[in-house]
Amino acid sequence: MPGPLIRTDLALRARYSQGGGIYRIIPAAVARPTTGEELATVLAAARDRHLTVTPRGAGSAMDGSNVTTGLVLDLTLYEDDRCLVDEEKWRAFASPAISLAVLNREAAAIGLRLPVDPSSGTWATLGGMVSTNASGPHSVRDGSIRRWVHGVALHTADGYLDLSRSREPDQQHPVVARWRNDVEPLLRRHEAVIHARFPKVRKNSAGYALDHYLDSEDLLDLVIGAEGTLGVLTDVVVNLAPLPAHRVALRVAVRDRGDLVQTIEAIRVHNPATLEFLDASFLRFIAHLPLTPERPDLLQQAAGLLLADFEGDDRSELMHRAVEAARSAHATALDVRIASEAGEIERLWDIRHRASPILAGLTDGRRSLQVIEDGCVPVPRLGEYLDAVDAAARAQRIDLVMFGHAGDGHVHVNLLPNLADADWKERVRAVYSTVNDAVIRLGGTPSGEHGAGRLRAGLMEQLYGPEVMACFRAVKRAFDPDGRFNPGVIVGDGCDPLTQLKLGADAAPLPAGIEEYLQRIEAEARWGESRW
């Protein structure tokens, strides 16, 4: 690799100062190792220079877990030619640098795929997906990536640690010894509290998954979703599933938000592979686009759209399930459509993909901010949660757009404050506080799939309570006793989550041209592009 392993020139550091979320933090240094030997050298040098280490993939994470004042560790070229698909075991052995798109291209050649499908899948790396316990539309049937991870290798403060579903970890490894002596007794002492405090939701990526660990007794479950706070992933092994032969899509326009949960449950009975939701705020935002020629008034009248896919090998059986789901939703629907041909299906789903470019390209003074973008509540409380978000935004006179994974009770929210308003930041802060209070009150989690990061680290004690937070800190110490990996993430450092923003007068200044460059990456979704 040409040049030094660790670079400190300002232009490069500035290019790594932002990710997909709200923050701008210029790191002290950046490294991009390509081999295990280079990685070990970088980590040793960072330790000698007293630099903390923040692992980073494509950089599209929204929760601030990919920016730091220390060393950004760019892993996008780390052994990036390593992706082996085992046809007999339905399993892939890969570098964490491999993107989901590349993995699925390799797996598709033998009729397989990883069903987890975040919208960032074109560029999202396996390391990033494991680190946030990523999911996506297929989670209603296939769950998050936790269900599919068979093993990882982790470069910890005490060297490499292999963790696999199929074997015990090395009992002599210092991490395992500290775990056995210091953490396991604490978890058992607080086991009842842990089970009581963890939200009873279909998806949760907020904090260390102590609930899953208590069920599996597998350290792998602590590393999944750990957001780079326990070490650096160097290997990922995932299980795969067969590609479905056929797909049938269903679109239901819901008449009233009060009918939403009933309609979701009516469709979910028929085992859809996906079940997505577009709120009225989303529909009004794109109402000027020619998306529904069969019902030009639909986007103005509907309280929301539900989009479902049925996948499998028997086309007639899929059509039967879609028809039955449509029939069960008919009483609460303004409009119902079924599509079974590829072109028709894409037209039904086209609406789902239209908002993001518009949000990223707003020129009227409003800017899209992801500050409450990942709340997940029990499905029966979904309508209440949507009402709470609406009320909080209206009270602060902030526009918003809501959409998400209806079958999981999981909602993405883009706030659209007008930066010309002098008090926009205070009003965003009020929405952040009110909505996070609501999601916890409703038995939910502030992060269904994006992680706690910096943005939500300060909410962890409110969500889980002091006993669980003591367990979180013990987990962190067992893996990372010196606190070198991604400090301030998950186990917070007391920093205000709505400072160090990439917007506003207080944003850190960048060298000429870099802010525009970073804006283009976000607006054009060029996250797969190297910043090096």
- Domain region containing 437: 358-453
- Distance in angstroms (rounded) separating the CA atoms of residues 59 and 517: 14
- Domain-embedded: residue 208: yes
Does the structure show a pLDDT above 90 at 269? yes
* Domain match, 161 and 254 both: no
Q: Which residue, of 294, 324, 353, is where some domain finishes?
A: 353
* Domain match, 337 and 364 both: no
* Domain match, 270 and 415 both: no
* Domain match, 330 and 412 both: no
By CB atoms closer than 10 A (0-12, 13-18, 19+), residue 7 is: middle
> Which tokens is 71 given?
């060393």
Does the structure show a pLDDT above 70 at 90? yes
Checking DSSP bridges between strand 71-74 and strand 29-31, what pairing results, if any?
parallel
Tell me the average pLDDT across 282-292: 79
- Domain-embedded: residue 111: yes
* Domain match, 263 and 229 both: no
* Domain match, 154 and 278 both: no
Q: What are phi and psi of 410, to 5 degrees?
A: -115, 125
**Cα four-point dihedral sign 286, 291, 292, 297:** positive
- Distance in angstroms (rounded) separating the CA atoms of residues 463 and 484: 25
291-to-130, 296, 347 alpha-carbon distances in Å: 35, 8, 8
- Distance in angstroms (rounded) separating the CA atoms of residues 11 and 9: 6
Checking DSSP bridges between strand 232-239 and strand 246-254, what pairing results, if any?
unpaired
pTM: 0.95
By C-alpha distance, which of 430, 420, 365 is closest to 393?
430
Structural domain count, the chain: 3
Does the structure show a pLDDT above 90 at 359? no
Q: Which residue, of 216, 242, 268, is where some domain finishes?
A: 242
- Distance in angstroms (rounded) separating the CA atoms of residues 282 and 196: 35
- Domain-embedded: residue 191: yes
* Domain match, 346 and 395 both: no
- Distance in angstroms (rounded) separating the CA atoms of residues 76 and 99: 9
- Domain-embedded: residue 521: no
56-to-77, 132, 325, 360, 481 alpha-carbon distances in Å: 11, 12, 41, 22, 21
The model's pLDDT over 213-243, given as tens digits with 9 standing for 90+, comes to 999 999 999 999 999 999 999 999 999 999 9
Q: Which residue, of 294, 321, 353, is where some domain finishes?
A: 353
* Domain match, 327 and 379 both: no
* Domain match, 177 and 273 both: no
Tell me the average pLDDT across 354-366: 81
By C-alpha distance, which of 14, 8, 13, 7 is closest to 513?
14
Of all residues in the chain, the percent with pLDDT exceeding 90 is 90
- 8 Å CB contact between 234 and 75: no
- 8 Å CB contact between 270 and 321: yes
- Domain-embedded: residue 479: no
119-to-135, 412, 460 alpha-carbon distances in Å: 9, 12, 26
What CATH number corresponds to the domain at position 404?
A: 3.30.70.2740
> Which tokens is 366 given?
């409003």
- Distance in angstroms (rounded) separating the CA atoms of residues 489 and 226: 9
What CATH number corresponds to the domain at position 256?
A: 3.30.70.2190
* Domain match, 96 and 236 both: yes
The model's pLDDT over 31-85, given as tens digits with 9 standing for 90+, comes to 999 999 999 999 999 999 999 999 999 999 999 999 999 999 999 999 999 999 9
The pLDDT, as a whole number, for residue 288 is 77
The pLDDT, as a whole number, for residue 32 is 97
By C-alpha distance, which of 53, 259, 228 is closest to 131?
228
Tell me the average pLDDT across 367-395: 96
* Domain match, 190 and 273 both: no
The pLDDT, as a whole number, for residue 1 is 37
For residue 189, give the 3-state DSSP assignment.
Answer: helix
Checking DSSP bridges between strand 149-156 and strand 159-164, what pairing results, if any?
antiparallel
Model confidence at 297, in pLDDT bands (50, 70, 90)? confident
The pLDDT, as a whole number, for residue 518 is 95
By C-alpha distance, which of 104, 27, 100 is closest to 60?
100
The pLDDT, as a whole number, for residue 290 is 67
For residue 229, give the 3-state DSSP assignment.
Answer: coil
Tell me the average pLDDT across 183-190: 98
- Domain-embedded: residue 8: no
- Domain-embedded: residue 18: no
What CATH number corresponds to the domain at position 219?
A: 3.30.465.10
- Domain-embedded: residue 78: no
SS3 string, 76-127, reads CCCCCCCEEEECCCCEEEECCCCEHHHHHHHHHCCCEECCCCCCCCCCCEHH
* Domain match, 258 and 346 both: yes
